[in-house]
Amino acid sequence: MNESSLHYRTFIVLLVIVTLAFTAVLLPYYGAVFWAAVFAISFAPMHRWFLARMPRHRNIAALTTLLVCLFIVILPLILLAGSLIREGTNLYKRMESGRFNLGGYVQQVLDALPPGAHEVLNQFGLTDMFSIQQRFSDAALQGSKFLAGQAVNIGQNTFQFLIGLAIMLYLLFFLLRDGPFLGRRINALVPLDEQHKILLIRKFITVVRATIKGNMVVAATQGALGGLIFWILGIEGALFWGTIMAFLSLLPAVGAAIIWFPVAVYFFVTGAVWDGVILTTYGVMVIGLVDNILRPLLVGKDTKIPDYVVLISTLGGLAAFGINGFVIGPLIAALFMATWDLFPAATQARLQDPD
């Protein structure tokens, strides 16, 4: 091994070590860094629009874009999360005091089922009605207890949350202002063919923008529509259930139906037929239509990712990375597909030029 090769390998080892060390330093606030990058990519077109009208004021253009992002996205999300936790805490208190008995509602549904339905349940071994009722009650109690616990955690970690928010906003300002320069630097440092780099970078930006744009619009619309119909029908905790539907709408194909469909079934089996008809029709024709029309337009059309891949990667992302996963999951899936699309051409080029 010659001296030049030894120096290069030593440098690579040093590069890996300092990169891992820097990653470990950023890890406690990876969420803040991640969302700063996501919002910077999503609002880059708006920033360019402001910059074109004030080319000599890069700081003002970046600050204006930051304020728009803060007031139309970040603050509403914080308020929505606060409302969800507050409603979840109230629901937990009502369940503990016995004022809200989900098990009783389940028992009403089971009692209203025809004899044939009971026979089907017997065939599947679902004969212990008390056990089924208890499981529903326990699941709802645990869910509301989790939200109540989150309220306590947020109260205890308010300072940490504020630091993370401040880091995200601070970093977002500089990513907006210096984004083109940073993009050119990253592009120059990545040791790939220029065409491959362009394709992967475009795919990365497209998926981030489409996922944020599509999922946020779909979630906000479905949550608002679901909460509205629950309020009209007099269902308790309409704001809470609307917020839950907004979060569940991040899952393609199933989404908000996880909430409104069981409620519609409850209406039917307990004799509130018109309420059941209204909720079912509204859920399919209005809430479902929003998902079927907006999501392909805002997400699938831009990313060219099949719906089943979006669903699986979103679920996997949420399981692995928490709320950040609804962007990270589809992003990894898109880069995976794009990289494998490039593999045949890269292999062919390698065979033609082995040196």
What interhelical angle do 158-189 and 58-69 show, nearest 10? Answer: 130
Q: Is 282 contained in some domain?
A: yes
Lowest mean pLDDT among 37-41, 161-165, 276-280: 161-165
Residue 25 has pLDDT above 70, yes or no: yes
pLDDT (0 to 100) of residue 304: 66
Tally of CA atoms within 13 A in the half-sphere of 218 that contains its CB: 29
The residue range of the domain holding 332 is 193-343
| 8 A C-beta contact, residue 252 and residue 218 | no
Residue 176 has pLDDT above 80, yes or no: yes
pLDDT (0 to 100) of residue 64: 92
Q: Is 160 contained in some domain?
A: no
Q: How confident is the model at residue 54 (pLDDT cuts 50, 70, 90)?
A: confident
Q: Is 321 contained in some domain?
A: yes
The one-letter amino acid code at 181 reads F
pLDDT by residue (tens digit) across 269-312? 777 888 888 988 988 888 877 777 776 666 555 566 776 777 78
DSSP class per residue in 264-323 = HHHHHHTT-HHHHHHHHHHIIIIIHHHHHHHHIIIIIHHH---HHHHHHHHHHHHHHHGG
Of 230, 246, 249, the closest CA to residue 238 belongs to 230
pLDDT (0 to 100) of residue 109: 59
Residue 127 has pLDDT above 70, yes or no: no
Mean pLDDT of all residues in 4-31: 84
Mean pLDDT of all residues in 44-66: 89
Backbone angles phi, psi at 306, to 5 degrees: -60, 150
Q: Is 225 contained in some domain?
A: yes
**Pair of tokens at residue 34:** 């991640």
Q: Is 246 contained in some domain?
A: yes
Q: Is 234 contained in some domain?
A: yes
Sign, CA dihedral 131-268-102-323, equals positive
Q: Is 184 contained in some domain?
A: no
Alpha helices (H) along the chain: 3-26, 30-42, 44-53, 58-69, 75-97, 102-112, 115-123, 129-156, 158-189, 194-232, 238-248, 257-269, 273-282, 288-295, 301-303, 307-321, 325-352
The total of structural domains in the chain comes to: 1
Question: Which of 56-70, 84-98, 103-117 is most confident?
Answer: 56-70
Question: Which of 165-179, 190-204, 278-292, 340-354 is most confident?
Answer: 165-179
Q: Is 42 contained in some domain?
A: no
Q: Cα–Cα distance between 223 and 225 in angstroms, integer?
A: 6
